[in-house]
């Protein structure tokens, strides 16, 4: 009669009482007891009750376990969705259960907190408006009405410096004690997404290097500028001088610095309302709404002045400018930009000689500061060049002499791009260091090319070639090496030997002569060495020693 299963453990006491009562019922001693019939009935019903109770417990426990498991799974899903889910009824108090992301968004527990306090703690007006709308939602009779009211609620809010996208959903529920409907909010933190989007927009309209506006931005705002409010409208086109040379000789990092410095100059000379943009490469457009030609001219002047005051790094900052002003609404802005561009090219041409001189001067200065060239060394070689051209049997034309003069000044210009540690190293260079060192003639070649001196460029390139073809970079041999190079290399090496370098002591004249003889026909043109040595006293005056 007593069910025998594991639930007995839980009801051991009751089971024990029941077993006892059954014993009593079957005990002959109580056969004639007047209460036996009723007692029998009671035991029977107690047994039934106990069986039913055990069954109910088992069913209930199984259901509970299942419910808890599913609750846990759902919570897991919601908490790991990276979205905030919360609900509230017409009292606008957030229900007890909400996803973990809500805690992160609001930085606190939000159960039983008024939703308006969470979303609009500082905005009373918005708070009031939303309260009215929310209350109306809960009393609206149709779904369409609910939807149109929901559409009035903000889809983007700011909570603790986070940008939160909010979606609303009306849910019917029978579980709520208060209402049949509850409103669910789905919150997505789009702060990072916004940052990325803002950055993309920024980058799409700004030049990465200089942070100025870029061409895309200028093109996008041209229609806006074509308006009465922008008149008179001035445009300046600026073109940097010497950027290619800087990149070639000193490297692109130096070129980038030059561009950045130029950008800073433009920004500091322009007004807040002006648009300063990097058009591309070394070109810039400065668009000045409301600037007359006088104002525009003043800005141009300021730019030139400021450029000259910037510390050369590595060369002096120099720009060519072209400007134009329109007072007519009908003037096409693209055409205006072309006018400014043409004006710039015109000015660049006029200023080209002066600009070239400035660049050469800058490079020379850098050479003297960075390398071990000194002005006296170069002056001595230049004097020797003049004299040598007189003793040379073949008459050199003015261009060749001019080239030699330039070669005297710039034969080592490429060293400005060589690390000083390598230039000043006393001991032998490593393979890697030697590889870097050897590149200086090519760097010098590029520099000369960029100032339109192709003959000089070739002469610099060949400066370390040897008569016997064992030089670099191309192993040119004999008369394939330019004459001007063959001459200046002898003059240069003699001067270095007899005046020394920081890393090498100077030699006596006889020692230098012996060395030249030793290298004649291998490193140097033997005929020119002979000519040099035969005219040594004339070529190298005692005042030069």
Give the number of other Cβ atoms within 10 Å of residue 280's Cβ. 11
Angle between helices 12-26 and 36-79 (to 10 degrees): 160
In a 3-state reduction of DSSP, which class is residue 283?
strand
Centre a 10 Å sphere on the Cβ of residue 451 and count the other Cβ atoms it contains. 19
Of 64 and 294, which CB lies nearer to another protein in the complex structure? 64
Structure-block tokens of residue 506: 């100077």
Question: Cis link prior to 27 (omega < 30° from 0)?
Answer: no
Nearer residue to another protein within complex by CB, 11 or 472: 11
Q: How far apart are CA 237 and CA 482, in angstroms?
A: 41
Which of residues 42 and 56 has its CB atom nearest to another protein in the complex? Answer: 56
Rounded to 5 degrees, φ, ψ at 3 are: -65, 135
Beta strands in 103-200 (DSSP E): 156-159, 162-172, 181-189
Q: How far is the first Cα of the chain from the last one, in angstroms, to the nearest whole number?
A: 133
Residue pair 91/182 in contact by the 8 Å Cβ criterion: no
* 15/263 with CB nearer another protein: 15
467 and 477 Cβ atoms separated by less than 8 Å: yes
Our CA angle for 241, 261, 222, nearest 5°, is 80
Q: What DSSP character marks residue 314?
A: S
Q: Tell me the closest approach of the beta carbon of residue 166 to another protein, in angstroms.
A: 24
Cβ 95 to another protein, closest distance in Å?
10
**Which one, 94 or 259, has the nearer CB to another protein?**
94
Nearest-approach distance from CB 121 to another protein, in angstroms: 22
Give min distance, CB of 267 to another protein, in A: 59
- Report the nearest approach of another protein to the CB of residue 53 (Å): 9
Sign of CA dihedral 255, 257, 263, 268: negative
By beta-carbon proximity to another protein, the closer residue of 72 and 173 is 72
Query: Min. distance of Cβ 102 from another protein in angstroms?
Result: 16
Indicate the residue among 5 and 332 with the shorter CB distance to another protein: 5
Contact 22/50 with Cβ under 8 angstroms? no
Minimum gap (Å) between residue 45 Cβ and another protein: 20
111 versus 419: smaller Cβ distance to another protein: 111
Q: How far is the CB of 71 from another protein (least distance, A)?
A: 9
> Applying CB under 8 A, which residues contact another protein?
6, 9-11, 13, 56-57, 60-61, 64-65, 68, 72, 96, 111-112
- As a whole number of angstroms, the distance between CA 46 and CA 15 comes to 10
Which residue do the tokens 């009751």 mark?
14
* CA 54 to chain centroid: 71
Residue 64 CB, nearest distance to another protein (Å)? Answer: 4
Reported for 488-491, long-range contacts at CB under 8 A and 24+ positions apart, including other chains, are 488/381, 488/385, 488/404, 488/407, 488/408, 488/411, 488/459, 488/463, 489/411, 489/463, 489/524, 490/516, 490/524, 490/525, 490/528, 490/529, 490/532, 491/381, 491/384, 491/385, 491/388, 491/408, 491/532, 491/539
CA dihedral 278, 284, 285, 286 (to 10 degrees): 90
Complex with another protein: residue 179 or 433, whichever CB lies closer: 179
Identify which of residues 54 and 464 has a Cβ nearer to another protein in the complex: 54
452 phi and psi, to 5 degrees?
60, 50
For residue 20, give every residue at least 6 positions away whose Cβ sits within 8 Å of its Cβ, in sequence order, or none. none
User: Shortest Cβ distance from residue 111 to another protein (Å)?
Assistant: 6
> How far apart are CB 96 and another protein at their closest, in Å?
6
To the nearest whole angstrom, how small is the minimum distance from the Cβ of residue 61 to another protein?
Answer: 5
Nearest distance from residue 18's CB to another protein, in Å?
A: 16
Separation in Å, CA 306 to CA 53, 94, 269, 286, 367: 97, 62, 8, 16, 24
- Select 182 or 238, whichever has its Cβ closest to another protein: 182
SS3 state of residue 284: strand
Supply the minimum distance, in Å, between the C-beta of residue 191 and another protein: 30
């Amino acid at each position: 009669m007593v069910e025998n299963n594991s639930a007995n453990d839980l009801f051991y006491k009751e089971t024990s009482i029941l077993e006892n009562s059954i014993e009593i019922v079957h005990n002959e001693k109580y056969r004639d007891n007047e209460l036996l019939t009723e007692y029998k009935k009671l035991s029977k019903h107690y047994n039934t009750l106990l069986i039913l109770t055990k069954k109910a417990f088992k069913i209930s426990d199984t259901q509970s376990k299942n419910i808890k498991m599913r609750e846990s799974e759902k919570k897991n899903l919601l908490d790991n969705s990276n979205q905030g889910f919360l609900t509230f009824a017409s009292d606008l108090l957030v229900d007890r259960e909400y996803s973990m992301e809500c805690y992160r968004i609001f930085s606190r527990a939000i159960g039983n907190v008024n939703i308006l306090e969470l979303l609009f703690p500082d905005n009373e007006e918005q708070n009031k408006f939303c309260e009215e709308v929310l209350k109306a939602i809960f009393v609206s009779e149709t779904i369409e009405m609910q939807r149109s009211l929901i559409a009035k609620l903000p889809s983007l809010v700011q909570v603790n410096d986070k940008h939160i996208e909010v979606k609303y959903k009306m849910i019917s529920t029978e579980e709520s004690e208060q209402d049949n409907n509850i409103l669910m909010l789905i919150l997505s933190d789009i702060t990072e997404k916004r940052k990325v989007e803002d950055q993309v927009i920024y980058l799409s309209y700004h030049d990465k290097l200089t942070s100025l506006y870029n061409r895309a931005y200028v093109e996008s705002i041209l229609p806006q500028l074509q308006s009465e409010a922008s008149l008179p409208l001035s445009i300046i086109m600026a073109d940097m001088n010497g950027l290619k040379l800087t990149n070639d000789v000193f490297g692109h990092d130096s070129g980038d610095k030059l561009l950045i410095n130029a950008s800073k100059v433009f920004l500091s000379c322009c007004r807040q309302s002006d648009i300063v943009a990097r058009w591309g490469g070394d070109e810039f457009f400065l668009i000045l709404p409301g600037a007359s030609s006088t104002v525009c001219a003043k800005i141009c002047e300021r730019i030139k002045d400021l450029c000259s005051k910037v510390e050369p790094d590595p060369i002096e900052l120099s720009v060519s400018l072209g400007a134009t002003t329109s007072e007519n609404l009908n003037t096409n802005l693209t055409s205006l930009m072309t006018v400014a561009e043409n004006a710039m090219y015109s000015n660049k041409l006029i200023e080209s000689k002066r600009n070239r001189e400035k660049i050469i001067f800058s490079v020379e200065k850098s050479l003297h500061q960075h390398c071990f060239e000194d002005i006296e060394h170069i002056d001595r070689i230049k004097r020797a060049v003049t004299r040598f051209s007189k003793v040379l049997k073949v008459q050199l034309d003015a261009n060749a002499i001019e080239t030699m003069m330039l070669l005297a000044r710039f034969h080592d210009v490429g060293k400005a791009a060589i690390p000083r540690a390598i230039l000043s190293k006393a001991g032998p260079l490593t393979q890697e260091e030697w590889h870097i060192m050897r590149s200086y003639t090519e760097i010098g070649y590029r520099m000369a090319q960029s100032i339109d001196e192709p003959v000089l460029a070739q002469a610099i390139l060949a400066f370390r070639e040897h008569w016997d073809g064992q030089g670099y970079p191309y192993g040119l041999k004999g008369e394939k090496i330019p004459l001007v190079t063959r001459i200046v290399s002898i003059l240069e090496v003699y001067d270095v030997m007899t005046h020394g370098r920081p890393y090498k002591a100077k030699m006596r004249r006889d020692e230098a002569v012996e060395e030249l003889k030793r290298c004649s026909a291998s490193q140097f043109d033997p005929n020119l060495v002979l000519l040099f040595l035969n005219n040594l006293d004339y070529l190298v005056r005692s005042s030069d020693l």
